[in-house]
Each structure stands twice: as structure tokens, then as C-alpha cells.
Structure 1
Amino acid sequence: MSNSSPYPLLFSLYEQASVGCGGAPSLWTHPLDDRLQVNSLDRWKNVAITAEEANLDALFFADVLGLYDVYGGSADAALSWAVEAPANDPFVYVPALAALTERLSFVITASTTYEHPFALARRFGTLDHISNGRIGWNIVTSYLSSAARNFGMDEMLKHADRYERADEFMDVIYKLLEGSWAADAVVANKAERVYARPGSVQPINHVGSHFRVDGPSLTSPSSQRTPTLYQAGWSPRGREFAAKHAEMVLLPKKDPNEIATGLADIHRRAAERGRPAGEIRSMALARIITAPTAIEAQKKYDDLQSNYHLEAQLVSYAGDTGIDLSKYADNEPLTTESNGLTSYVVKGAPADKPLTAGDVRRKFENVTRGTDLLFIGTPADVADQIQAHAATSGLDGYMINPLVSPGTLNDFAEFVVPELTSRGLYDSEPKSGTLRSRLRSDKSDLLASTSYGASFRQTLS
């Protein structure tokens, strides 16, 4: 394996503060699914406590900033199927859930296209303080045209422009959280009547193409300073961004050989920047269907399939990619030129054959989609599949994308965790420390000294 610490593997839970999300957006219609309770804190309390008791590393919140209005030329189908809608703000959930838990970490998606770095640095700094360092940031550049219009733009920024803005955004974040307060700035001495050492808190005076920020950060340094950095870009530009900034790469891929090749590329790019391969960890999105017997596991799959609806998945695909399949007959080739999530555009087979609408519909006719990573069977079967996949792919772990909530998480905790633990693939010891310290081999709370962000720190005199 190419990862730095293959065993035990890392496991987190993928969630979204909306009704129609997860492995298949229509499965909120399943009789046992509870996502209609998305507005209830009790629902999220149960998710967080179950995840903590199962000793998962983190609860990961995906997010969107607009409606999926590509399919059929409007948001009607998305609203009918609740595809990524309603979408509540995960920043509001996390403080409550952090107070209800002691060990579980929280990763929040935030966009470099529509956020402002000064305000975001303040929110992340505050959250990191009150959670004792249990906060991560999933860095996205966003992909919905509806989001662009929600923020006063005529159209979405081009792919390259979004990443160019993101690079400057990260510079401002680092200047604020890593550089504006020196390591010895906080004295907090009542007798001397000094909170911060004079001269140790400096403005950043950033003037760039997209941002002008005087600084300094309004929050004092938290235990991590910068939240642990997650990133999911898989395009060449996305991989370059990961090599520069990411500490955890999240992959929407299933083929272990494709994953291994992509990770090798990211690690090569990182090495050219002076970052060792072990500084960047990796996880893939995975769906898990399990039961005590193979027959019962297959029955669960069949039950999910009977509650699965293709149209909802095509609404999701259209929103992700910008390709509206409602306009195409099965035999019509699609344009795969997209300013959306290019890694989600299903390819034809063979690769030089034009992709048709029928190809995509057939790919998505089953509950787990043609592109999804699925582990299915008895607990031993699932553990075998995970172990084999990790060995080939070089992944550090998996992000569980629940098909039914809370069923998927409950089944994983009850059936799969004991089996993985018995094989040394799962860390059953209660988590401690910051999120970053759990990912780093040296257990440090701070960005690695070889990271790009660390170069913005003040040098002590």
C-alpha cells in the first residue's frame, strides 16, 4: 500500500443537512428513513452520538448554496424529490453537536467562491476553540449556476477561475490564522493586565486580485489554528490544489486502480512542493449494505431498490454536471463539456465512444449507481471487500455514505465494526486530541512545517 499508515483504517460518516441526499437522493421515501426530520436537533443528536459511540473519526457535512435547477430547466423536480433541498446551514448544527459529544470531529463544507476569507476564518477559529480542535474544513469552489445567481453573479465562474480565486482565498486564511498572531502572543495574565503581548498581533495587509483584508484575525489562535483541510477535487487542477493545500483528499471514485493512480499523481505533485506523501491522507465515499447472512444482505439491497427512483438520481446528476438528460433521447450523444463537477461525468465504454443519454440512464438504474463504491454482504464479506480495496487503492480510509438513515450507520456499527476491529482494521480505542493530531503521524495539532500554510507563520525573534 502507498499510504503512510494503512492500518487501522479511518472511517467517517458523510451527511448533508437536507432531505434528499446520501447514496441515492430518493431513498428518503423509504419507510425506515428519518431524513424528513432534518430540521430536528434530536435527529442530529442521535446521528452524532451513534457515530461517536461507534468511534468514527468525524461527521462530515456536505453542502450546496443553490437549488438543482438544471433538470427540466427548473427546480421543480429537485423540490419534488427533495434533491439537495431543503439545505440547512451545517455551521449552525455543529456547535450544538460539539456540545453533545466529546470525541467526534466535524468537517464542514465551505466555498471559496461565495464565502469571504475574513468572516470564514473567524467562524472556523471560534468553532475550533469551542470544540477543542475537532473541526475540519472541506474546501470547495462550488459548481451550481443557481448558487452564482444567489450571490449576485450573472453566471458561475469558470473552472480555472474558481481555483485561481481559491488559491488567493487560502493565502488570506493562512495569513489570518497562521500568521497574524505569533505563537507567544497570548499572555492572558490578570496580574500584569496583559492579554496579548504588544507587537505580537500584526495586520496582514493583504491586497490581491479578489480580496483586500487588513487583518489581523479577530480570534486568538485555537489549538489547530487552521482547521484540518479536506478537499475533493479530482481534475488536474483539483489535484494540484490538493497537493498544495489538502491534508485529507476525499474521492468520489470506486475503481481501486484508478484511485491508486490518482493518489500517486497527487503525491508526486506534493513531493515537488516538498511535502512527504504521508502528509496527505485519503478517503473514498462508500456505501455499505450488510446483515448477518448474505441472503439478508441481498434482501436489504432489493428493498432499497424497490424504494429507489431513477428520476431523482438524474436530477442530482444534472445538478452536479450541468447536463440535463431530460432533453435527450437514449440514443443521443451528450456533450460532456461541463463547468460542473467534471469527476462525476459518467464516461462511455469504450472511452472513445460518444456518451449517450441511454448510457447514463443505464448506469444509474440501480440504487448504488454505476459509479458508486459498494461493499455488500455479511460482516466478514464487507470486511474482506474493504481490506482488498484498501490494499490495492492505497486509501487511508472510507467515508460512509448512508443509503438509509439511521439504518446504514446502525448496521455498520453493529455488524461491521466488530469484524474490522478483530482484523486490526478499525481503531476501537476512544478518540482523543484534535482532528489533525489523529491524522498526523507525529500527533501534532498544527499544520506540518512542510505545508504551504505553515510558511505564513510569524518567526519568533
Structure 2
Amino acid sequence: MSDPKPLLFALYEQASVGCGGAPSLWTHPADERLAINSLGYWSNLARIADQANLDMLFFGDVLGFYDVFGGNADAAMKWAVEAPANDPLMIIPALAAVTENLAFGVTVTTSYEHPFTHARRFSTLDHLTNGRVGWNIVTSYLSSAARNFGLEQMIKHDDRYERAEEFLDVVYKLWEGSWANDAVIADKTRHLYAQGDRVRPINHLGEHYRVAGPHLTSPSPQRTPLLIQAGWSGRGREFAAKHAELIFIAKSNPREIRQGLEDIWAKAQARGRQREDVRSLTVLRIVTARTEIEAQRKYDVLQSNYHLQAQLVSYAGDTGIDISRYADNEALSTHTEGLTSYVMHPDGSGKPLTAGDVKQRFAKVTRGSDLILVGTPQQVVDRIEEHARLSGTSGYMINPLISPGSLEDFVELIIPELRKRGLYRTQPHSGTFRSRLRADGASHLPESAYGASFRFDNTPR
């Protein structure tokens, strides 16, 4: 049997008090999330993650309050459900300055951003981080976000993906096709920064966007940031197979994960990509201590600070369904533009959940189908090892239950056990984010990537 390969490990975060997953646990006495407005809070997390050789610090994000439950945002404000929502793009450069190797991922929607300004921001981030940045591509599902951008209602699910496809075409043209590799000379003696004939407009004219260009920023270390995506629907898998280099999986059943990954890999291969071009991270929560009794005690304290209503507020926002208006035995509506997979029975029957099913699912510290492990380091790593073997996942996204305590426990207790088994890197990564995930160590998109077709020398002038 071959030696095990190290898994990928990342830390999930949001620039909000009530972080997604178990948003009411900021009420735990040991949690420090009330300090999210402080740079010191974020710098501390980043330094811990960097020194522990984590692969990525990832920021989720939302552009509206969770105002579906009860028909308003009152409960979301009470429990700080993914609120307040500061801008993570403003935090990352500061964290890059206090870390050496840690990579950063950040969620930015294609639904309400403009591709021209988006491309400039990410090129700037890629420069400032020396290529340590990835973009989590999402299509926004909150109706409150739609209203914040002047729309009367949310863009429909499949229409959001069509808009995203054009958005990607525009940013690829800017990142890959506007500046040639040899455009920048930066020669003081010749008084020549860039060759004008090697920088060109993109003149994009589409259904949703008109963008002249050229791109305002010179080519960054990766050009296109590492592309991350989390869609698990049929349309989401097609999108992942076409664009994604790293996908997030909010499922726990390893066989279901394996089936979904095989589907995405097959679709990617049909596009000329390789299986290894698409890596994955499965969402994971861990409660651990040196003894089973202590681990269970930690879990019980978490449970005593966990509040079901906060979780139902989050569920209502995610799905667009006001669960407060349903009787426990009443089946939920499947006519929603939110996250429809959250409404269906996990048994594959195609039946919707009842409100009582949802309340039972969220009665304890867990988020629906996400993976939560409670036990000693040996017990937790046993489960991780087996889960990774069965699921085929490349690694795990640690979703902290309390901060920074969950990260500190992972570093102190879990990482040493992972290292004993060859499941965690012993040396820090260097180079760009993309180069770390690719067998060939390349910083730029491979030739087989869809985005590579837009390169300066691949397209007519």
C-alpha cells in the first residue's frame, strides 16, 4: 500500500459576529467574535493558521441580512446571523502583510458585482499577496441582497448561472487576454514601462455586460486567481466542471460525496480537463479534547450556548422559505430560488422536508448534513482518515464552532495526530496558491482550462 498523501486543510471564516454554521455560538463565554471589527482579532487568527501551515484562510460573505424568518430581519439582528457583514476584501491585504505562506480565499458574487471593477480588485489582491489568493464564485441567493442592488426580486437560479457565465468570460478576457506576457518592460533607461501594442482592449459586448478595456492592472502572479466554487446542483456541477479548481462540499455522507465528485470529474474530463485539475474541501466541524469525557463536556457546553431559533433564521435565509409560518407536520415548499437542496430529504426520495424535520435536524450543534466529529484526537483522525478514503475528498474546510478556540484545538490536538499518519504537511507551502495545488507547480491556468482560451496570443487581435 502506498504512503498516504497529506490532505488539504482550510479555515472557514466570515467577517461577521454570527459565523455561518452555528451562528448563535458567539454567545459562548470563550468565543471572541464580538471583536470582528478589530484588526487584531483577524491578525491573531491568520498568524495561528500561518504558523500551523494551513492551506487557506477562507472568507464567506453575504450582501444582505437574513430577513425571511418572520418576514423581517429582527431575529437576524437579535442573533447576529451572518451579521453585521463587513467586507472581507478589505481585511485580506492586512493579513497578507502579517503572514508568510497562508493563502486566502474570498467569496464575491457574480450577481451584483461588475466584472471590470472585480477584475481590477482581484489583480491588485493577487499582486499584494504574491499570488496567495483565490476567488469563491457564487451566485447570490438572498432576496435582501437583490433589493440592496435595486432589484424588486432575486434573479432566478438558472438565470444567475447564465449571468455568471458571461461574467467569467469578461474577467478571463481582462485577466488573460488584455496584457501580453511581454507587455511590461519597466525599463527606466529606455523610459518604457509597457509596450502599447501588447496591451489591448477587450471590447466585450454581451447580453449583460459591455466592457471596452483594457484591463487597468498589469498581469499579476497568477493572472486569474485560483477559482473556487461550491455549487452542488446539476447546474452548479456543470459550472464547476467548466471553471472550478477547488470545490467546497457541504455534505457528510462519504458515498454521496464520492458520487458527486465522480460526476464533476467526468464532466471536467469531457471538457478536456484532468481529474486532478479539480480538488475539493469538505466542510468539517470538530470538538476535541485529550479524553472522551472532556470532549463530550466541551460539546455539552457548546450545546448549552446553542439556540435553535438562530439556526432557523439562517435556514430561512438560505432557502428563501419562512419556516416560522409552517406547522411541524407541514411539508416545505420546493418553489424557491434559494438553496433548493436544503429543502429535500437527504435519502434521495425527492420528497421535501417538513418543518419538524428541519427543527429536529438543527436541534443540536450541527448544520444539517455537514460533518461534525466529537472525540479524542485519535478518534477524530480515525474518522477523517476513513471519510477521506471513502469520499475521495482532497481535504477539509474547518468550520469553527467558537473562535479562536476551535482553531487552537485543531492546531494543538488534531494536527500532531494527522502528521503521525502522513495526512498533514510537515513543511510550509511556498509559491502561488495555484502552484501549490497543481502537480506541475504552474502559477497560471493550464492550457486545458476554459479561461486559457482567452489568452492574448490565443485569440485574434
SS in 2 for 1:65: coil
Q: How does 1:134-149 map to 2 (within 5 A)?
A: 134-149=132-147
Taking the aligned partners of 2:390 and 2:347, their CA distance within structure 1 comes to 23
Equivalent residue number for residue 284 of structure 2: 286
SS in 1 for 2:5: coil
Equivalent residue number for residue 309 of structure 1: 307
Equivalent residue number for residue 450 of structure 2: 452
Equivalent residue number for residue 250 of structure 1: 248
Contact kept in structure 1, 2:343 and 2:352, CA below 8 Å: no
TM-aligned CA deviation for residue 355 of structure 1: 2.3
The percent identity for this pair of structures is: 65
SS in 2 for 1:199: helix
Equivalent residue number for residue 118 of structure 1: 116
Q: How does 1:317-356 map to 2 (within 5 A)?
A: 317-347=315-345, 351=349, 353-356=351-354
Q: How does 1:61-76 map to 2 (within 5 A)?
A: 61-76=59-74
Equivalent residue number for residue 365 of structure 1: 363
Equivalent residue number for residue 194 of structure 1: 192
TM-aligned CA deviation for residue 323 of structure 1: 1.2
Moved over 3 A (4+): none
Equivalent residue number for residue 388 of structure 1: 386
Equivalent residue number for residue 412 of structure 1: 410
Equivalent residue number for residue 54 of structure 2: 56
Letter in structure 2 aligned against 1:161: D
Equivalent residue number for residue 34 of structure 2: 36
User: Which residue among 225, 228, 242 is the counterpart of 1:227?
Assistant: 225
Taking the aligned partners of 1:457 and 1:338, their CA distance within structure 2 comes to 39
Q: How does 1:127-138 map to 2 (within 5 A)?
A: 127-138=125-136
Taking the aligned partners of 2:82 and 2:343, their CA distance within structure 1 comes to 18
User: Which residue among 49, 57, 75 is the counterpart of 1:77?
Assistant: 75
Taking the aligned partners of 2:19 and 2:374, their CA distance within structure 1 comes to 20
TM-aligned CA deviation for residue 6 of structure 1: 6.8
- State the Cα deviation string for residues 333-353 of structure 1 (Å, max 9, x = none): 111222112233352668255
User: Which residue among 89, 92, 97 is the counterpart of 1:91?
Assistant: 89
- State the Cα deviation string for residues 147-176 of structure 1 (Å, max 9, x = none): 000000111000010000000000000000
Taking the aligned partners of 1:349 and 1:440, their CA distance within structure 2 comes to 35
Q: Name the CA shift for 1:352/1:117 in 2 (closer, same or farther; >3 Å).
A: closer
Taking the aligned partners of 1:348 and 1:134, their CA distance within structure 2 comes to 36
Equivalent residue number for residue 153 of structure 2: 155
Taking the aligned partners of 1:6 and 1:221, their CA distance within structure 2 comes to 37
RMSD: 1.5
Taking the aligned partners of 2:240 and 2:352, their CA distance within structure 1 comes to 30
More divergent stretch after superposition (149-158 vs 323-332): 323-332
SS in 1 for 2:349: coil
- State the Cα deviation string for residues 392-445 of structure 1 (Å, max 9, x = none): 000000000000111100000000001101110001201211111111111110
TM-aligned CA deviation for residue 193 of structure 1: 1.1
Contact kept in structure 1, 2:17 and 2:81, CA below 8 Å: yes
Say how many residue pairs are matched: 458
Structure 1: unaligned runs, 5 residues or longer: none
Taking the aligned partners of 1:355 and 1:407, their CA distance within structure 2 comes to 34
- State the Cα deviation string for residues 86-105 of structure 1 (Å, max 9, x = none): 00000110111111111111
Q: Name the CA shift for 1:46/1:269 in 2 (closer, same or farther; >3 Å).
A: same
Q: TM-score, normalised by structure 1?
A: 0.97
Taking the aligned partners of 1:206 and 1:92, their CA distance within structure 2 comes to 29
SS in 2 for 1:408: helix
Structure 2: unaligned runs, 5 residues or longer: none
User: Which residue among 203, 213, 216 is the counterpart of 1:215?
Assistant: 213
Equivalent residue number for residue 7 of structure 2: 9
TM-aligned CA deviation for residue 376 of structure 1: 1.8
Letter in structure 1 aligned against 2:115: P
Q: TM-score, normalised by structure 2?
A: 0.97
Q: Name the CA shift for 1:350/1:126 in 2 (closer, same or farther; >3 Å).
A: closer
Contact kept in structure 2, 1:188 and 1:194, CA below 8 Å: yes
Taking the aligned partners of 1:344 and 1:67, their CA distance within structure 2 comes to 19
